[in-house]
Amino acid sequence: MPWFVWLGFLAAIGLMVALDLGVFHRRDETPTFRSAIKWTCVWVAVALAFTGVVYQLYEGRWFAGSGLGKTGMGAEAVAAYLTAYVVEKSLSLDNIFVMAIIFSYFRVPLASQHRVLFWGILGAVVLRGAMIFAGVALLHRFEWITYVFGVLLLISAARLLMSGDDEFEPERNLTLRLIHRWLPISKARDTKHFFVTENGKTAATTLFLALVMVETTDVMFAVDSIPAVFAVTRDPFLVFTSNIFAILGLRSLYFALAGFMDTLKHLKTSLVFVLAYVGVKMLLAHHYPIPNLVSLAVIGGILGVGVVASLVGKRKPAITGDPTADGPDEESVAN
């Protein structure tokens, strides 16, 4: 893909992010369910509208006669982009469950969670971009990496199946231990700033610790989700754009689903089958390639079954990330 297409995409994303933070969400306030649903729909609509750009780019109409683009591949590129987007979006749901645990642990108020998620997702865009291009380079240089990624996805599916709902324990995170060693941690509970000055020294707040946890857990989830997208396509432009659109809408999706996480108890099982399916797809890629439209239908069906099974099952009290929930006091966080 020509460099100016990449530049144009990054500029468009930068503009959307600037409008999101600087115009529509300038103040830290608790998002309403209606607002979260509206913004989730907006980001999904933008991602779907981008299929028109993908079609024109890969069909070759915008660069006809210039030698740029991949002529006649519009429909195939759109199928790959949509499948990659659905895979990434579905796997990001497990990330949402972990975010709720992080915010509850650090007692981050709902009004401040918006700030943490914005900067966390913005950092994820940069880190995922680096991981995607590194993965593409590995696949082009070492073809056998395909099988490694496939096995990795199957292992991830098994690990997710056997993991408990409360297995994630922020206090045992290595990154947090390193921060405690390198930076002084403020004992005061500040929910508006990442750093404060105490006794003439800069100290990190619990809000910053929550941001670090969100960032590091996203990297861990990307180890699963990015190889899963490589099972769909190795085109770096399609992999990157589908990833970016999926995670840009993650913040509004979190607030939309925050009150229903316990209700969607079978969704985690669906994600296990999604990971297993794309792992098998990757292992069979050189022998029995599965068309992307088939994969899109299979993954959509798996997620649909999980949602329906959750809704018809017995409902439990919702997890809302209430800042009054049990978590560490300031003394334990600072130490």
pLDDT by residue for the chain (335 residues), tens only, comes to: 777 888 988 898 888 877 766 556 556 666 677 888 888 888 899 999 999 999 988 887 665 444 444 556 888 899 999 999 988 888 877 777 778 778 877 888 877 787 788 788 778 888 888 888 888 888 878 878 888 888 888 887 887 777 655 555 656 667 777 777 787 877 776 667 788 887 778 888 888 888 888 888 777 777 777 888 888 888 889 999 998 898 887 878 887 776 666 666 777 788 888 888 888 888 887 778 788 788 888 888 888 888 788 777 655 544 444 544 445 554 444 44
Helices (H), the chain: 3-19, 33-59, 74-105, 110-141, 145-162, 174-182, 206-230, 236-248, 250-257, 267-283, 292-312, 330-334
Question: d(Cα 130, Cα 13) in Å, to the nearest integer?
Answer: 17
The two three-digit tokens of residue 192, written as one number: 């508006």
Residue 130 makes CB contacts below 8 A (sequence gap 6+) with none
Q: Which domain holds residue 209?
A: 3-334
Q: What is the domain count for the chain?
A: 1
